[in-house]
């Protein structure tokens, strides 16, 4: 077993909470280290304690019997659970010293039918003068009396993760490789312990490669028991969700980056009320975590499990809602770039970066339903392009986007759309790549199409003339440019 590492500020805060409140509930994401920190706290405060591991106990009677087993070997057979609670309280009160009662892994009872009575149990115990209560759980309590202090445990910070990996694997010296493994474990101590355990059997570079491509599998070696393997642990966590919520979480997982409530509701596509409620449940069960004031994310390891085991039922519908949702957001951002809110717009682009990338690559799934959304993006989304397509990898993604849009316009026999896409394509080639010759060829093709519709004078024609003229000007073809412009 690995000795406890780090968490200095968390322990300090937790100790203060325990001094000030009779009941402290530690909650957080599955496997984040709640039980470990509770154990470490008990070790440090050196007070007598009763440790009740409630895993798989989902009734009030089970909890009370467990409590009673701290004092007597015999199970009490009492119909009335309040009478049983009184016996427990009397036993604890008679101990004659200050002590801590820990309810570890209390999620099963909190999710069960007796959750309200469980709260009653902890409230009753907290009335005893000599008792502090500590609960660990990965779901919120059903209701929340003022007396209860919540302590949310987050993932291990980078430094603690680094130290934990080093403590599992002291021979590992290369800082870059340690950092790579730490990043791939995303603050989950179990993942770090397991990854460290693989080093030795496997070369460090192999471990890094396997973590990048098959994280769940490599951290689920048969050498460990099922409750120490990453995949069964997190899959089991998801399996405990009702099917409707499972489906909704799989849909949310379609959003690759962080998301806010409106985006989530729009992609979920059900009534606002139902979606708000589901979002609340996901947050209460730590299936989604807040990453900033308004934004949420799904932990990478949970995403791996969702991708592997929870298929989206109506994938076509979800793709369509995703593309509409984020196309609208991109357009809203574009509007802002022409105003004093320019800086805000740019920072929003970086926040939405992963989502916009998926929006552009999802063009391969373009159907009749989403055709106009993509054509509109190709024809008018210039801020997105000039920000998103500027690195080599993203530039290729941008070119791919225009190529597919062009193919679709040809497929749907929409010549004017073809001209719009060619204009956008030419602009990217001119302004981002500086490939004036290839861009000119696109503009010329667009112009040839527009000549067949000489009576139609619209924004897109003006845009074509302006962009084509700019391209020719850049090539020094000023006479031709002034004619086109
Ligand atoms: N600070 C730490 N230092 C070393 N190991 C840790 C630390 N925190 C957690 N671990 C290890 O990570 C694993 C998971 O930790 P733990 O069981 O405490 O998580 P948990 O949040 O209680 O999980 P669950 O949600 O399943 O109850 C354990 O093997 C534990 O030993
Ligand atoms: Mg635990």
Query: Tens digit of pLDDT per residue, the chain (485 long)?
Result: 678 999 999 999 999 999 899 999 999 999 999 999 999 999 998 888 889 999 989 888 889 888 888 877 666 666 778 888 888 788 888 877 888 999 999 999 998 888 888 998 999 888 888 888 999 999 888 877 788 899 999 999 999 999 999 998 888 888 888 999 999 999 999 899 888 888 877 888 888 998 988 888 888 877 777 778 888 888 888 888 888 888 899 999 999 999 999 999 999 986 656 778 888 889 988 999 999 889 999 999 999 999 988 889 889 999 999 999 999 998 888 888 777 888 888 888 889 989 998 999 999 999 998 999 999 888 876 655 656 666 666 778 888 899 999 999 999 888 999 999 999 999 888 888 889 999 999 999 999 999 999 888 888 999 899 899 999 999 888 877 777 65
Q: How far is the CA of 31 from the centre of ligand 1 (A)?
A: 5
**CB of 398 closer than 6 angstroms to any ligand 1 atom:** no
Considering only CA atoms, which residue is closest to atom 5 of ligand 1?
Answer: 4
Where exactly does CATH 3.40.50.300 map onto the chain? 8-153
| 180 Cα to the center of ligand 2, angstroms | 27
Q: How far is the CA of 363 from the centre of ligand 1 (A)?
A: 42
| Tokens found for residue 282 | 């996901």
DSSP state letter for 96 = -
7 lines ligand 1 (CB under 6 A): yes
Class of domain 8-153: alpha beta
Domain 158-234, CATH 3.30.70 — does that match?
no
Looking at ligand 1, which atom is closest to the CA of residue 36?
A: 18
Determine the Cα–Cα distance for residues 485 and 269; give it in Å rounded to an integer.
44
User: Which residue among 190, 192, 197 is best mutated to probe the pocket of ligand 1, counting the most ligand atoms within 8 A of its Cβ?
Assistant: 190
**Ligand found nearest the CA of 30:** 1
334-484 folds as 1.25.40
Six-digit token string for 70:
């701290």
Give the number of whichever ligand sits closest to the CA of residue 31: 1
Backbone angles phi, psi at 82, to 5 degrees: -70, -35
What pLDDT was estimated at residue 385? 60
Roughly what angle, to the nearest 10 degrees, separates helices 415-428 and 371-380?
40
CA–chain centroid gap for 341, Å, is 28
Decide if 238 contacts 246 (C-beta within 8 A). Answer: yes
Structure tokens at 175: 């800082």
Atom number, ligand 1, closest to the C-alpha of residue 105: 27
Instruction: Give the three-class secondary structure for 103.
Output: strand
Torsion of CA 341, 379, 257, 288, to 10 degrees: 80
CATH number at 241-309: 1.10.10.10
The best mutation among 35, 104, 191 to test binding of ligand 1, ranked by most ligand atoms within 8 Å of the C-beta, falls on 35
Q: What's the predicted TM-score (pTM) here? A: 0.86
Is the beta carbon of 33 within 6 A of some atom in ligand 1? yes
What are the structure tokens assigned to 382, written together? Answer: 């210039």
Residues around the ion ligand 2 (C-beta < 5 A): 34-35, 105
For ligand 1, mutation pick of 36, 53, 104 (most atoms within 8 Å of CB): 36
Element (H, E) at 241: none
In the chain, where does the domain assigned CATH 1.10.10.10 lie? Answer: 241-309
The phi, psi pair for 267, rounded to 5°, reads: -75, -35
Where do the CATH 1.10.8 domains begin and end in the chain?
158-234
Return the ligand 1 atom nearest residue 160 CA: 1
- Going by alpha carbons, the residue nearest to atom 13 of ligand 1 is 190
| CATH 1.25.40.10 domain extents, the chain | 334-484
Q: What are phi and psi of 463, to 5 degrees?
A: -65, -40
Cα(96) to centroid(ligand 1), Å: 32
H-helix segments, 127-271: 158-168, 175-185, 189-198, 204-218, 230-239, 243-252, 261-268
**135 CB under 6 A from ligand 1?**
no
């Amino acid at each position: 077993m690995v000795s406890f590492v780090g968490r200095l500020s968390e322990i300090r805060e937790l100790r203060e909470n325990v001094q000030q409140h009779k009941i402290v509930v530690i909650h957080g994401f599955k496997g984040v280290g709640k039980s470990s920190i509770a154990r470490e706290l008990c070790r440090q405060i050196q007070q007598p304690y009763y440790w009740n591991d409630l895993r798989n106990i989902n009734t009030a009677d089970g909890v009370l019997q467990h409590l009673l087993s701290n004092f007597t070997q015999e199970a009490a057979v009492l119909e009335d659970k309040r009478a049983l609670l009184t016996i427990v309280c009397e036993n604890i009160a008679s101990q004659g010293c200050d002590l801590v009662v820990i309810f570890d892994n209390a999620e099963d009872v909190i999710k069960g039918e007796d959750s309200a009575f469980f709260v009653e149990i902890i409230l009753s115990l907290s009335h005893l003068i000599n008792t502090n209560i500590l609960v660990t759980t990965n779901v919120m309590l059903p209701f929340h009396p003022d007396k209860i202090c919540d302590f949310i445990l987050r993932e291990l910070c980078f430094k603690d993760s680094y130290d934990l990996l080093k403590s599992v694997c002291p021979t590992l010296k290369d800082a870059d490789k340690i950092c790579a493994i730490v990043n791939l474990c995303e603050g989950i101590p179990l993942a770090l312990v397991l990854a460290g355990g693989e080093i030795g059997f496997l070369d460090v570079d192999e471990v890094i490669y396997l973590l990048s491509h098959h994280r769940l599998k490599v951290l689920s070696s048969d050498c460990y028991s099922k409750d120490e393997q990453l995949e069964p642990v997190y899959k089991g966590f998801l399996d405990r969700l009702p099917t409707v919520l499972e489906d909704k979480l799989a849909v949310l997982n379609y959003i690759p980056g962080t998301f806010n409530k409106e985006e989530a509701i729009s992609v979920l596509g059900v009534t606002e009320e139902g979606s708000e409620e589901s979002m609340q449940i996901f947050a209460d069960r730590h299936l989604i975590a807040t990453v900033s004031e308004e934004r949420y994310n799904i932990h990478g390891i949970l995403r791996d499990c969702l991708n592997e085991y929870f298929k989206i039922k109506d994938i076509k519908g979800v793709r369509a809602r995703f593309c509409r949702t984020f196309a609208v957001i991109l357009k809203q951002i574009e509007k802002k770039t022409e105003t004093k809110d320019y800086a805000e717009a740019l920072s929003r682009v970086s926040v939405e970066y992963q989502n916009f990338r998926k929006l552009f690559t999802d063009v391969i799934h373009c159907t009749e339903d989403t055709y106009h959304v993509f054509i509109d993006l190709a024809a008018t989304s210039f801020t997105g392009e000039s920000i998103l397509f500027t690195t080599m990898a993203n530039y290729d993604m941008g070119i791919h986007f225009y190529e597919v849009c062009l193919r679709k316009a040809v497929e749907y026999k929409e010549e004017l759309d073809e001209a719009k896409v060619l204009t956008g394509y030419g602009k990217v080639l001119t302004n981002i790549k500086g490939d004036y010759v290839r861009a000119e060829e696109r503009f010329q093709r667009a112009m040839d199409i527009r000549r067949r519709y000489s009576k139609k004078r619209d924004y897109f024609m003006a845009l074509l003339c302006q962009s084509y003229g700019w391209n020719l000007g850049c090539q020094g073809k000023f006479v031709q440019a002034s004619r086109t412009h």
